[in-house]
A and B are shown apart, each in its own frame.
Chain A
Amino acid sequence: PEHSPIYVDNHKGQTVAGEEISDVDRAEIQEDLLLLLGLHRRPRPAFQEVQSSAPQFLMDIYNSMVDDEDTGDLKLDPEGVGSAWKDFNITTVDKQVIDESDLIMSFINHGSKLFKELELPRSQLLWFDLTEVPMDENQLDTSLRVYQGYAEDALFDYQSVTLRIFQLIGGEGETRPDDIQLKEVGARVLEPGYVGWLTFNVSSAADLWRMFPHSNLGLFMEVTSEGGEQLVPGQVGLVDAYGEQARQPFMTAFFKQQQLKRPLPR
């Protein structure tokens, strides 16, 4: 912090640190930069988990972006040079949404830390904090990603396995098991031998949570065999909330600015 945050041209083809600035000027520069970034104040995250799946997904997208020569806008590299295409199974449809978005938010799962009273396996509960989502942005799409790795059991050899994603619905503040209803928001028959991310569209649930934060009781991932027997996700290679950090389920929301914002006052 003893350095100047602004580096200027010295007219000799070099960029040098600007003149030392007072604390008052420094605070004003910080405030101006925050306004420019569309933030009212500086975020203060309690801790950072850069290695977990949610930030990794956005870091991959960040590293895969290139300037569009015609418009000057940032787009996902059409050649697929970045690792995002491969690692996170980004499809052409995803690419379109990513290119259209002005803001992409990636949410880490807090499910295992909440709803201790629910009689559901906590490792399969998914809860994402949407309270920081800006209300003036148009939501394009919200997707949940769950990782399927190598299966430990040979279950796939003799029966098909289904992963279902349920939205937990209950009255305000109701977390008693009897008052909670499960609404299916996505299902997928798992492909034996597949290793990678599975994507589920959870836009309708996210829309509701955004408008009515108290209705956000999260999601539940259920794995069942052909005969309806409930399985532990790890048995079929699925990574749950207690799994490897870099492969844990996460949610991503894509937003586009609704309209041109008024010019900033400064």
Chain B
Amino acid sequence: LSRFKRSPNGKRGKKKRNRSNSQTSSSSLKDYIQKQEFSVCQKRNLYVSFRDLGWQDWIIAPDGYAAFFCMGICSFPINSQMNATNHAIVQTLTHLLEPFLYPKPSCAPTKLNSISVLYFDDKQNVNLRKYSKMVATSCGCH
């Protein structure tokens, strides 16, 4: 930012910026850090309970499953984010250059695991079905 917004008399500009930064209170900085912590790209829990849906009369196992989801912002500096790919770094830089043209890298699953569900059908037959890529085991910036 300093490279693009540098004023003709760069020293004054720098002083001004420093002064404005120093005026920021310590409490607001703490808030900022906390906010960053919550908004950073990470895996969040989301449990779907078959039992609470009242489906235990046909689903034998499991009782439910931890679906998880990825949530958070992939913002600069990208190296502080979880599992950022090389492409995510390039995406971040292009976003910084043209924020309205190029989006930030997205927070998405980097590893997906399968689950299996054991259930009865209408004819009392039992089915074991595997569902691939159903559980986000880790998230990262893409």
Which residues from chain A sit less than 8 Å from chain B, CB to CB?
1, 3-9, 11, 15, 29-30, 33, 36-38, 42-50, 54-55, 58-59, 61-62, 65, 67, 72-74, 101-108, 128-129, 131-132
Contacts and interface: CB of A to CB of B under 8 A. Distances in A.
A2 B133 CA distance: 30
Interface stretch (B1-9, B11-19, B23-31, B42-50): B42-50
Contacts of A5: 48-50, 52-53
B117 interface: yes
Contacts of A1: 52-54
Given A3-B52, A55-B118, A58-B127, 13 more contacts: A4-B52, A5-B49, A6-B48, A7-B47, A9-B44, A47-B124, A55-B120, A72-B112, A72-B132, A73-B130, A106-B125, A129-B123, A132-B123
Given A7-B49, A45-B57, A102 B125 contact: no
Contacts, number: 131
* Main DSSP-derived SS at the B contact region: strand
A5 to B, nearest CB: 4
Contacts of A105: 125-128
B122 A44 contact: yes
B76 interface: no
B129 A49 contact: no
A244 to B, nearest CB: 18
Nearest to A61: B128
Contacts of A129: 123, 125
B58 A44 contact: yes
| Interface size range of chain B in the complex | 35 or more
A62 B128 contact: yes
Contacts of A128: 125
B116 interface: yes
B72 to A, nearest CB: 11
A2 to B, nearest CB: 9
Nearest to A44: B122
B3 to A, nearest CB: 36
Nearest to A10: B45
B58 A58 contact: no
21 contacts: A5-B50, A6-B46, A7-B45, A8-B45, A9-B44, A9-B46, A36-B131, A44-B122, A45-B120, A48-B57, A54-B125, A67-B113, A67-B114, A72-B113, A72-B132, A72-B133, A73-B130, A104-B128, A105-B125, A105-B127, A107-B125
Contact of B129 (A38, A50, A108): A38
Nearest to A62: B118
Nearest to B71: A9
